Amino acid sequence: MEARDHEVDDPSEVVGALRALHGRPGVGTSFVERVFGTPTFFRLWLAQAISSLGDWLGFLAILILANRLGSGAPGASVGLVMAARIVPGFFLSAGAGVLIDRMDRKQVMVASMLVRALVVASLPFVDSVVGLVFASLVLELATLFFSPAKEATVPNLVPVEKLATANSLGLAAAYGTFPLAAGLFALLAGVAEWLGGIEAFDSLHTSQEAVAFYANVVCYLAAALIIYRLAIPRDHIRTHDDDRASIDLGEVFKDIGEGWHYAFCTPVVRAVNVGLACGLIGGGMLIPLGQTFSERVLHEGPGGFGVFVFALGVGTGAGVISVSALQGRLRKARTFVLSLFCAGVALIVAASMSTLVLSAMWVAIMGIFAGSVYVLGFTLLHESVEDELRGRIFSALYTLVRLCVLLAMAAAPLLADLLDGVSDRLVGGQIHVGIEVSVPGVRLTLWLAGVIMLVAGALSAVALGGPRSDRAADAEHRSPARARSMA
């Protein structure tokens, strides 16, 4: 089947055939089908992995370029560039979701890649912070289209019993490529030095960051070519008599309202959105506060923070792998809620420890459940949301994720300083519960972060209450068609 995949007129037939053959010995047992579900999804995943490698290369290069262009105020220039990558999602993601649901998603992904390649190719010649901020805005606009379009496409390419694995693989492609990109970026310093000695390349600006940008362009073009050659269903497109998608302005606003109504009124979708959003507010606080906690509470210095990051990464990876291995035996909605609760408890316990080893161990446990939350949340959305609504739903989710991560990063240090003063005034920075326990602001804030994750679990459990959501939560035990058609 892999060899003839490009000959199938309707790619959904491939998925249907694999679903029908699932479980029959000797059929569909190639490595690609066992791991990725279908050859088409494998190619989409490969395109995502290549583009993510380029994303990280470009991200590292943009940080260096922003620092260099900022000269007297490098911190401010980096902040402006990062803001340019975050702000557009708050205002434009809803409209992007509507267009994704009305257009050929393959064309959307290819166009997004080409736009990003064009913008990145211009970055070696940018000589001002303003120009870099503008380029970052355009890059983010293109990303607003690519990510939801890719997520909306996945359920059409993967058998329903492979969706959790597909989301685990997607997470690995998105974040697992960062270490590879960091190593490649370091190697590009030598390439830049070699190219700098060739006079013919002088006009190309062959600094380390410039060479990284060129490598990023190659990654985007390769990903665009892979996606262009995929056979991706177009059944979600609404057509009129002239067989063209309708993009009337009034209809666009109507569709935006329909998408947000569905996102917050459908039990499973609301539970996932609320759970992931609130969970990120709590879990996201560990990143800006980890180093402070290591230094002030554990007295381990910056090295302790590195241990935390490593433990979190290992735990998250273990959680992702566990969900993929056990997906056939999991009640996904219940496990999603339970994982939120357990992640909150683990964070509270980790913040209560007084030694690095014990604290890192509980951070790893938190990572296990955090990885489960991510994979199960996306899988529930893939299984429960109708095809013609997925672009809007995932756009809404990405908007919430951006908002909550930004809120966690910005609020955590401020809250820690505030609670530090309160603790000093009220209890002298220590409490006695049989033993003397230090309660600086950073520990209180991390405890609060754990409580927020517990609240996220409670809100998700409430959202999943009732017979209607029970049916949606059991979508994995139904046929794929019925799972998608549930409202």
Over residues 148-176, the pLDDT tens digits come to 888 888 888 888 888 888 888 887 888 77
Is 239's pLDDT higher than 70?
no
Per-residue pLDDT at 26: 42
How, if at all, do strands 436-438 and 430-432 pair?
A: antiparallel
Is 478's pLDDT higher than 60?
no
Widest CA span in the chain: 78
What CATH superfamily is the domain 255-485? MFS general substrate transporter like domains (1.20.1250.20)
pLDDT, average across residues 237-241: 49
Is 1's pLDDT higher than 80?
no
Q: Which residue has the higher pLDDT, 253 or 91?
A: 91
Q: Which residue has the higher pLDDT, 360 or 437?
A: 360
The pTM of the full predicted model, rounded to 2 decimals, is 0.70
Range ranked top by mean pLDDT from 55-64, 183-192, 217-226: 217-226
Per-residue pLDDT at 74: 60
Domains 5-233 and 255-485 fall in the same CATH topology: yes
Q: Please report which confidence band the pLDDT of residue 73 belongs to, taking 50, 70 and 90 as the band edges.
A: low
Long-range CB contact pairs, 10-19, < 8 A, 24+: 10/233, 11/40, 11/156, 11/157, 11/230, 11/231, 11/232, 11/233, 12/156, 12/233, 12/235, 14/38, 14/40, 15/156, 15/157, 15/158, 15/159, 18/159, 19/159, 19/160, 19/161, 19/480
Per-residue pLDDT at 25: 40
Helix (H) or strand (E) run with residue 432 in it: strand 430-432
Q: Please report which confidence band the pLDDT of residue 233 belongs to, taking 50, 70 and 90 as the band edges.
A: confident
**pLDDT tens column, 338-357:** 999 999 999 999 999 989 89
Per-residue pLDDT at 476: 39
**pLDDT tens column, 187-209:** 887 777 776 656 655 566 667 78
Render the burial of 363-385: b for 16+ CB within 10 Å, e for the rest.
Answer: bbbbbbbbbbbbbbbbbbbbbbb
**pLDDT tens column, 115-140:** 999 999 999 888 888 888 888 888 88
Q: Provide the percentage of residues in the chain whose pLDDT is more than 70.
A: 75
Per-residue pLDDT at 21: 43
Q: Please report which confidence band the pLDDT of residue 388 belongs to, taking 50, 70 and 90 as the band edges.
A: confident
**pLDDT tens column, 411-422:** 888 888 888 888
Range ranked top by mean pLDDT from 21-35, 114-128, 391-405, 423-437: 114-128
Q: Please report which confidence band the pLDDT of residue 91 belongs to, taking 50, 70 and 90 as the band edges.
A: low
> What ranges do the domains of the chain cover?
5-233, 255-485
Per-residue pLDDT at 276: 81
Per-residue pLDDT at 23: 41
If you average pLDDT over every residue of the chain, what do you get? 77
pLDDT, average across residues 12-31: 49
CATH code for 5-233?
1.20.1250.20
Per-residue pLDDT at 62: 87
Which of 130, 135, 109 lies closest to 120, judged by CA? Answer: 135
Per-residue pLDDT at 218: 95
Is 223's pLDDT higher than 90?
yes
Per-residue pLDDT at 95: 66
Encoding tokens for residue 273?
């959105």
Is 253's pLDDT higher than 70?
no
